[in-house]
Homo-oligomer: A and B are copies of this chain.
Amino acid sequence: MEVQLQIKMNEKLYLRDPEQTELGKKIVQHGIQLIHEIGFESFTFRKLAEYIGTTEAGVYRYFDNKHRLLIYITCWYWNWVQYRVLFETNNINDPGIKLKKVISLLAKTVEDDNKTLYVDESILHQIIIAEASKTYLTKNVTEDNKELFFKPFKDLCAVIANIILVYNPKYKYPRSLASTIIEMAQFQIFFMYNLPSLTDFGKTKKESNVVSFLEDLVFSAIRKK
């Protein structure tokens, strides 16, 4: 059986739905590729247009600007992670096991699972690590938040916070701990590869070490005292 996953996106993120056309899919797919190759700062719609053999104006018909494209990509990613979290923790009752699943889903490199037709999830994960914070670290956070551009991120955070609360209903900081898990899964991996002395895994460079660190951190915090 082949299953294909369709993720519903916030319509305000684009001018024309990129999933509906070939060019649109190319923009997202190769946009991810190009951002990964040259970094978000150097990335321009002109370069992307050349990369996929269209014109700058052609790209602008789909997205207002490159920041919107980054938000689009990031939303897609968090939606996809949330789907995987729900799928993988379904039918598990033990909230401890659920949390471990969540941590490893967040911190371990994904292999492209081909469930989604046009996105390479492994490269996507690397972009998220290096670029996702830039979606909200702007003077537009509040406005963008009102447009619900960060809903997928906040929803994922809420899902994790709920698992934490099931584990220990008396724990006082479920949301902050959830956002800490998500952010640190990204940052510790980034540090491990790029500024290794900020971590304890500079030598081995294994994502499983980040998982161990986060598990230790989280379960010490939420265990019933």
Contacts and interface: CB of A to CB of B under 8 A. Distances in A.
Interface stretch (A51-59, A76-84, A95-103, A192-200): A192-200
A86 interface: no
A131 B174 CA distance: 26
B188 A176 contact: yes
Interface size class of A (residues with CB under 8 A): 35 or more
A175 interface: yes
A136 interface: yes
B216 A172 contact: yes
A217 interface: yes
A138 B39 contact: yes
B198 A142 contact: no
Nearest to A158: B197
Interface of A is mostly: helix
A211 B43 CA distance: 38
A199 B179 contact: yes
A150 B191 CA distance: 12
Nearest to A202: B175
22 contacts: A41-B138, A41-B139, A130-B137, A136-B194, A137-B190, A150-B195, A154-B197, A173-B200, A173-B216, A175-B200, A176-B188, A176-B199, A176-B210, A176-B213, A178-B198, A179-B198, A180-B184, A180-B187, A180-B188, A217-B217, A220-B220, A221-B221
Interface of A: 38-39, 41-42, 130-131, 133-134, 136-139, 141-142, 145, 150, 153-154, 157-158, 172-180, 183-184, 187-188, 190-191, 194-195, 197-201, 210, 213, 216-217, 220-221, 223
